[in-house]
Amino acid sequence: MTERILMTEFKDLANMPWLHVSLINDNVFKWKVALIVLNKDSLYYGGYFVANMTFPKNYPYSPPDFRFTKSLYHPNVYEDGRLCISILHAPGEDEMSGESASIRWSPVQRVESVLISVISLLDDANIDSPANVDASVLFRDNPAAYKEMVVKDLEASKKDIPKDFIMPTTEAYGAKKKEEVVSYVDDWADSDGEFDFDSGSDDDESMEVNGVDSDAEDEED
């Protein structure tokens, strides 16, 4: 069951523009993932941050292990590349840390939710619970100096981009998401389901769907 769940998730994530994922030695319990930051407002924009993920045999009842192959200078990243992030903590309440079960791992979580949380954490550091105290202090007291450290990590990450890999762009990602929205709307319009609005008032005879903004772009992370 676990192998089937992981393979399904792997196939779904393989199509994500913000992610480059592969199996390590064809082992579905060991993944190599590269997080690609497509948010232009992020300090980490354009980065290619490689990490290894290891899954327990009882996944999804226990969380995976996530570890950057190169440690980042970040308040919530340990020297060995591990993260201090609630979603990777074992299920249940933790009286010592005060973490509630709602923000920790649970069987309803999936790999995608972990990776999105990691990308969000890069820019939204939690300095109240630091894994790297020095980085936490610099982040708080000297943002300019902290940014210089981020730039070093960013440039170092680009050296890990495979020679045959084409980095996605924010524009291409946004266009892809727009196509998905348009396709969804077209499929809905072409569906066999019909709605009877005649029973309403005369004002209801003319109805318009404005739920999709063709100029809106989805996020990154």
CB 130 within 8 A of CB 84: yes
Report in angstroms the alpha-carbon separations of 135 from 84, 111, 145.
Answer: 13, 27, 10
Taking the CA of residue 39 as centre, how many other CA atoms within 13 Å lie in the half-sphere pointing to its CB? 14
- Is 43 designated active site? no
Helix pair angle (133-141, 143-158), 10° resolution? 120
First-to-last C-alpha distance (Å) of the chain: 28
Question: Nearest to residue 114, comparing CAs of 74, 154, 67, 148?
Answer: 67
- Distance set, CA 54 to CA 30, 59, 65, 105 (Å): 5, 10, 5, 15
Of 32, 29, 5, which Cα lies nearest the Cα of 21? 32
96's tokens: 């010592």
- Catalytic entry in 5, 16, 84, 181: 84
CA 194: distance to chain centroid?
37
Residues designated catalytic: 84
